[in-house]
Amino acid sequence: MNQSQFAALTDGIDMARLVGTPHLFGRLKSLRNGHMVQPIGVLTLQPDGRLTGYAHPNEGSWSPYLHGEVDADRAFAFLTAKNVWIPSSTWTQSLGDVPVGYFTDEPESTQALERLCLVPHTVNTDSSDIVYMVASCLKFYERTVPPILQQLFAEGIEPARIKVVVNGCDEDSDRTINGVEYAFSIHNGWEWSTLYEAPLRWRFRYGFLIHDTSVVFPGFRRRVESFNNHLLWDHLPASPLARCLLGLYSHDFLTRLNPWLKTTDGISKKEGVIAEVGAELLLRARSAMVLGDPEYSGGARATEWREVVDYFNTGLPRIRRVFPSINVHKFLHYGSTSETSL
């Protein structure tokens, strides 16, 4: 399915394509000019009304829906496990081949008519054109990059698929070190520099942004590369609000944003953080899918704050932020710690 089909809402659902086929069940969030899918879990509607692969009281079973604006053979409802009369959501429309529904159960105060969707569950199997973009800076890259490279190698990621961007340099240059390509850039915009430089220096289908102040734990690669590829998503963030900008980015998306990303040259750490926490990049996407956690039935997970620790043995504390969906820990400056110190 292409992005234009994902933007056009039409009446009716192709039930023959839906029933018996695994789909990713999620919340459908509006972006400025598109949509984001926040996964809840992977499920299958069975012909006899059962749901398999996923369990929650809101979605106890399904049945045709008789009261919408389309015929019952083109609509359905999820019924609660608490009362088989009561629908928790009704489904009568589609975005391309993605059914769209509305939540109609409790809690009414916070979830009334929340939009839901079912995306065909096609899992990426070709990772040859996925690269890992490591964001670093001239002052610290010689110390911080080698450990993250060893962690990526331990995941079975080949050196040719790892790209390091070193920002804040005196001149632009390219270098290959032990099989890994480095882009030394005069652009000086923290991790924004990596997103700016990557599509100019390399060709790829998706690039995963990771910071040199992160730690990768076993299982990272499988969790990143086993994403839903039903659509060529602009962005697949590692958390629902794209915290720390971690996630997959399509080359097309970064190319489209390149003029804006160029303006982040010289951005202060304060303004860079404001743009990130304001979800500015995510809101510019036309199509986005949050990376799900396979241990949570494919559902999205928020980041978790952990302890304050002097991880780099510099005397300066950082706070650990965990991205559970991808098995990554990111260490961020804490309190009044200098933004230009490790």
Average pLDDT value for the chain: 95
Cβ atoms of 121 and 33 closer than 8 Å: no
Q: pLDDT category, 210, cuts 50, 70, 90?
A: very high
Beta strand pairing status for 162-167 and 130-137? Answer: parallel
* Domain segments of the chain as ranges: 3-120, 130-289
Q: 108-139 in b/e burial notation, b at 16+ Cβ within 10 A?
A: eeebeeebbbbbbbbebeebeebbbbbbbbee
pLDDT higher than 90, residue 180: yes
Mind listing the pLDDT tens digit for each residue in 112-157? Answer: 899 999 999 999 999 999 999 999 999 999 999 999 999 999 999 9
Q: Which fold has domain 130-289?
A: Spore Coat Polysaccharide Biosynthesis Protein SpsA; Chain A (3.90.550)
pLDDT higher than 70, residue 315: yes
